Structure 1
Amino acid sequence: MRAHRKAQRKARWETLGKAGRAHTASAAALVPGLALTAAAVAVSLWASRALPGVSAAVVAVVLGIALTNLGGLRPAFRAGLRFVSRRLLRLAIVMLGLQIALPEVLALGWRALALIAASTSCAFLATRWLGPRIGVSPRRSLLIATGVSICGAAAVAAMHEVADSDDEDVASAVGVVVLYGSAALVLLPSLARLLGLTPHQLGMWAGASVHEVAQVAAVGAAAGAGVLASAVVVKLARVVLLAPIVALTSVALRRTADSRGGAGTGRRPPLVPLFVLGFLATVTVRSLGMVPAGVTGVLPQVTGLSLAAALFGLGTGVNLRELVRGGRSLVLGGVSTAVIGAISLIGVVTIG
C-alpha cells in the first residue's frame, strides 16, 4: 500500500514536471516575437513623434505589413506575434476605457451628444449597406464602417475580434482610416476657413468626424489649446460607442450563425466579448474618479504603445498582393468619410 502511494506521488511529480517544462518551452517560444515587436514599437513611437497626427499604432501596422511582404518574417517570430495580436490587443482596448470620463462627455450637452450619435450611426449603417453593393465583402465593410465611424485603427482591431475577418480585411480598413484621416488634417482647416467656421466649431467638427484620436488632436492643436480639449472630448464620446456597437454586432453575428445551422458552419462569436465588458468596467472606474491623476496622465501613452504592438502583430499577417486588389475598399472608405463629415458639419453649424 505504501509503495502504491509512493508510486502515485512520483507519477504526480513527473506530470507536474512535464507541465512545467512545457510551460517554460512555450514561454521561451514567445521571446523572439516579443523582442521583434518591442523593436517595431520603438520605431513606431519615434515616427509618431516626428510626424504629427500619425499614431504609433498606424506606423506599427505598416511596419508589420512591410516585414512580412519583404520576406523578413521568420517562423520563430510567429508565437510571440500571435500573442501580441490577440491577448495584448484585448488588454489595450480595455485600457482605452480608462481614458474616458463620462461626466466630461455628458458635459458636452444633449445637442452635441445627439450630433455624435447621429453622425456615427449613419456612417456605420451606410457603410455596411453600401459595401456589399459595390463588391466589398460584408466583413471588410464592417471593419471599415467601425474604423471610420468610431475611432480608427483601435475600433478596427476591436471589431476584428468578433467579426471572423482576416488580416487582409484589417489592413484594408486601417489603410482607409490612415488615408482619409490624414487627408482630413489638411482639408478640414481649409474648409473651415472657407465656410467661416469658428475655431470652436472646427474642433467640434474634427472630433465628430476625423478617424484617429491622434488626427483629431493634431487638428485641435493647430486651432488652439482650448479647441484641442473640446475636440478630444467629442472624439472620446465617439469612442464610448465602441462597446455597444461591438456588442450588438457580436449578438447579430451570433444569431446569423445560429440561423444558418449553428456553430458547425464557422466560428461562433461570443454573446458579449469579455474585452467589451472590461472596457465598460474601466470606463466606469474612470468615471467614478477611482483612477489617480498620475495614472491618467500616462494612460494615453501606455494604451497607444499596447495598440501599436497588437497592430504590428496583425500587420505581419497581411498579404500585400491581395490587399492592392481591393480598390473598392478605398471607394467605400471615401463615401463613409464623406457621410460622417457632412452630417457632423450640418450638426456643428446648427448647434453654433
Structure 2
Amino acid sequence: MNSHSKQINLLSNRERYIRCVLGIVLTMIFALAGYALNELPGFHYVGPLACAMFLAVLYRQLWGYPEAVRPGVEISAKQLLRGAIVLYGLKLNMDVILHQGLGLLLRDAGIVVFAILLTIGLAKRFKADASLSLLLGIGTGVCGAAAIAAVSPLLKSKDEDTAIGVGLIALVGTVFSILFTVLRPWVPLTDMQYGVWSGSSLHEIAHVALAAAPAGQNALAVALLAKLGRVFLLIPLSFILMYWMKCTGKLRPDAKVAFPWFLIGFIVTSMLGSYVFGKYIAVPSSLMNGLSQATTFMLTMAMVGMGLNVSFKALREKALLPLLVLSVTSIILAGVTFFTV
C-alpha cells in the first residue's frame, strides 16, 4: 500500500471516529435536555427517559435522521443500552428474584409463541403484508428491533421490510411505554406486579426500562428479568427459524445467530451485587449511587438513539395495515398479560 492510500485510510478511520464521537455527544445533549424538560411542571410524571425520547422523536420528524453522525447514534442505541442493562444487574436482588426466574421464563415462552401466532393470524385477517407482519410478530414477542434485525437475514427479508418493521416497533413501543408510565398510578397492581406486566408485554428492553423505572428499582429489576427472558428466547427461536428455512431451502449461507452476551453480563453483575458486594467486598454507597445515576443516564442516551429511529414518513400504504396488526396485537398482549400477572 502506497503512502497516499495509507493517508486515505487514516482519514477514513479518523472520520469514522469523529462521527462516532459526535453521534454519542448528540445523544448526550438530548439526554441532558430530557433531564431539563423533566424539571418543568407536568413533565416530571413521565421522567427524563420519556422526555428525552420525546425530544428525539420530535427532532426526527422536523429535521430528519442525523445521518452524518449515525455511527455514534447507533452506539448509543445499542452498545450503551446493553452496557446499562449489565450495570442494572447490580440492583437485582437474586434472593428475591431467583425463585421467580423459571416461572418468568416459562411465561415468556408462552408470550413469544402467543404474540407471533396472533400477529400472523391478524395479518391474514386484515390481509396485511405477510413478510413484514412476521417480523413484527417476532419483534413484539421477543425484543423489538433487535429481534427483527437478528431474524431478517434468516428470513431473507427485504431491507425495506426490515427498516419499516424497526420503525413501527419503535413507534408503537414508544407510545405503549409512555402510556404504561402514565397509567401506573391508577392500575390495581403492586410495584412488583407492574414490573412483571411491563417486562412481559412491552417491545424493547429500553421501553421496559422506561415504563418500569418510575415504579422503583425492585420493579425495574423484575421487569428486566422478565424481558431478558424473552431476549434469551431469541436464541432457540433463531435456530428454529434456521431449521425451518433450511428445510424449505431458503436459508442464507452467511446467516448467523448472535448470542446476547449482555444477558450473561446482567446475570454476573446480579450475582456480584447479591452475594459478593456488601458481604465479602465493601463497596462505598457513594460509588453504588454514582453507578446507578450513570446507568440511568446511559439508558436515557439509548432512548434518544431509539427515538431518532421513529419516522412517521415511513408509514406509507405498505405499513398501514401492518401498523394496525401490530397495534391490535400489542393491545391484546398487554390485556392478556395484565390479567395473568
TM-score higher than 0.5 here? yes
Aligned with 2:252 (options 263, 266, 287): 263
Which of residues 92, 103, 107 in structure 2 aligns to 1:100? 92
Given that residues 46 and 181 in structure 2 are in contact (C-alpha distance below 8 angstroms), is that contact kept between their aligned partners in structure 1? Answer: no
Question: 2: CA distance between counterparts of 1:277 and 1:229?
Answer: 20
Q: Alignment partner for residue 321 of structure 1, among 306, 313, 322?
A: 313
CA distance in 2 between partners of 1:183 and 1:102 (Å): 29
Q: 1:85 aligns with which of 70, 77, 88?
A: 77
Indicate yes or no: 2:22 matched with 1:32.
yes
Q: How many residues align?
A: 304
52-61 vs 36-45, greater mean Cα deviation: 52-61
Please list, as runs of the form range in 1=range in 2, the aligned pairs for 1:32-181 lying within 5 A after superposition. 32-48=22-38, 51-52=43-44, 54=46, 56-106=48-98, 110=99, 116-117=104-105, 119-135=107-123, 137-146=133-142, 155-156=143-144, 158-160=146-148, 162-164=150-152, 166-181=162-177
Q: Which moved more, 1:243-252 or 1:183-192?
A: 183-192
Q: Structure 2 regions of 5+ residues with no counterpart?
A: 124-131, 153-160, 203-207
How far apart in 1 are the matches of 2:209 and 2:85?
Answer: 14
Pair member with larger Rg: 1
**1:127-149 Cα shifts (integer Å, max 9, x gaps):** 11101211261221222223xxx
Question: Could you report, residue by residue, the CA deviation over 1:151-202 in whole angstroms, capped at 9, with x for unpaired residues?
Answer: xxxx43553552438354334334434444444456565453xxxxxxxx63
2:302 corresponding residue in structure 1: 310
**Structure 1 CA distance for aligned equivalents of residues 135 and 95 of structure 2:** 34
Is the 2:30–2:52 Cα contact (8 Å) retained in structure 1? yes
Secondary structure (helix, strand or coil) at the match of 1:70 reads helix
- The Cα of 1:341 is off from its aligned counterpart by 0.5
Contact 2:167/2:314 (CA < 8 Å) preserved in 1?
A: no
Identity among equivalent positions (%) equals 18
**Partner deviation per Cα, 1:18-40 (whole Å, 9 max, x = no partner):** 75554333312334323322211
Query: Aligned partners of 2:114 and 2:31: how far apart in 1?
Result: 34
- Contact 1:168–1:322 at 8 Å: present in 2 too? yes
Give a deviation string over 1:223-273, Cα, whole Å, max 9, x none.
xxxxx5664454344245255223333433444454444434xx7242524
The answer to whether the 8 A contact 1:144-1:176 is kept is: no
SS at match of 2:144: helix
Equivalent residue for 2:234, pick from 233, 240, 246? 246
- Partner Cα distance (1:235, 1:180) in 2: 15
- Unaligned segments of structure 1, at least 5 residues: 1-10, 147-154, 193-200, 221-227, 345-352
Q: Separation in 2 of the partners of 1:343 and 1:78?
A: 41
- What is the TM-score normalised by the length of structure 2? 0.71
Aligned residue number for residue 224 of structure 1 = none
- Cα deviation digits, residues 30-68 of structure 1 (max 9, x gap): 343233222111122334565346354444444333323
Q: After alignment, is 169-178 or 13-22 more displaced?
A: 13-22
Aligned-pair Cα RMSD in Å: 3.7
SS in 1 for 2:259: coil
Give the distance between the partners of 2:68 and 2:92, measured in 1 at CA. 38
3-state DSSP of counterpart to 2:233: helix
Question: Match of 1:162, SS?
Answer: helix
Alpha-carbon separation, structure 2, partners of 1:236 and 1:72: 31
Structure 1 position 338, deviation (Å): 0.5
Does the residue aligned with 2:190 lie in a helix, a strand or coil? Answer: helix
Distance 1:71 1:101 in 2: 43
Residue 262 of structure 2 is matched in structure 1 by 275
> Hey, what's the Cα distance between the residues in 1 that align with 2:48 and 2:334?
22
Matching residue's letter, 1:100 = L
Name the aligned partner's letter for residue 252 of structure 2. Answer: A
Q: Tell me the residue number matched to 1:209.
A: 197
